[in-house]
Amino acid sequence: NAGVTQTPKFQVLKTGQSMTLQCAQDMNHEYMSWYRQDPGMGLRLIHYSVGAGITDQGEVPNGYNVSRSTTEDFPLRLLSAAPSQTSVYFCASRQLAGRFNEQFFGPGTRLTVL
Amino acid sequence: QQQVKQSPQSLIVQKGGISIINCAYENTAFDYFPWYQQFPGKGPALLIAIRPDVSEKKEGRFTISFNKSAKQFSLHIMDSQPGDSATYFCAAAPNAGGTSYGKLTFGQGTILTVHP
């Protein structure tokens, strides 16, 4: 199993550009989520999904869109990038059922918005 | 509003010493407290986790101590090794039913350096 994979590893955007961060998992996990990591702030939840066709907002959703058409994939879209979105983005997945299931994180995408 | 406060921001210990990282939370609905370890350029990985029905959990050199009344929990790393040098995050998830269990709230992180 590859676990949780993310592409690209690095990306530089100009303000106003759009892009999609890709996330895929091969563990058949229903629950997938996106976090951003900023210095001194830990990781903050952006959006999450409990299955294909079902998404919801996390703590910091503004400026980001998500959709979930398959169990495996959960892309994160930036429609008009802003410098405040410079961050490291992590995708994660877990089995939905069960309170204490481990959440598995991908290797991250480092995004810089100029 | 930081619902989980972690300290210290950075920690330097000598090989063989004890590393202690503390976290405090505000939301009484939290009932799952994992610790994650992150090496540079990698994603966080679960290290150890505790549920609120126990006050301590030990796995090898890593121990979580939990004080429900004080709303605090801590990670102790015994016999710290240079390979333990990493960033450590505490986290908490609420028992609010449904999908809440996956909604982790993280502390700010602690950069641990273990000198040989």
Residues of B whose CB is below 8 A from A31:
99, 102
In the structure, what pLDDT confidence band is assigned to residue B2 with cuts at 50, 70 and 90? low
- Phi, psi for B99 (deg, rounded to 5): -90, 5
Q: How far is B35 from chain A (nearest CA, A)?
A: 11
Torsion of CA A34, B51, B27, B38, to 10 degrees: -40
Provide the CA A58 distance to its chain's centre, in angstroms. 11
- Cα–Cα distance for residue pair A34/A89, rounded to 1 Å: 7
Residue B36 confidence (pLDDT): 97
More confident: B99 or A15: A15
- Hey, CA dihedral for A103, B106, A106, A14, is it positive or negative? positive
Say yes or no for a CB contact (<8 Å) between B89 and A106: no
pLDDT tens sequence across A21-74 = 999 999 999 999 999 999 888 999 999 999 999 999 999 999 999 999 999 999
Residues of B whose CB is below 8 A from A5:
none
Whether the per-residue pLDDT at B14 is higher than 80: the answer is yes
- Cα–Cα distance for residue pair A36/A45, rounded to 1 Å: 7
Residue of chain B minimizing CA distance to A94: B102
Residues of A whose CB is below 8 A from B34:
102-103
In the structure, what pLDDT confidence band is assigned to residue B96 with cuts at 50, 70 and 90? low
Whether the per-residue pLDDT at B98 is higher than 70: the answer is no
pLDDT tens sequence across B56-89 = 999 999 999 999 999 999 999 999 999 999 999 9
Residue B99 confidence (pLDDT): 65
Cβ-proximal residues to A52 (8 Å cutoff; 6+ apart), any chain = A68, A69, A70, A71
Q: Report the share of chain B in percent with pLDDT over 70.
A: 93
Q: How far is B106 from chain A (nearest CA, A)?
A: 6
In the structure, what pLDDT confidence band is assigned to residue B94 with cuts at 50, 70 and 90? confident
Say yes or no for a CB contact (<8 Å) between A105 and B104: no
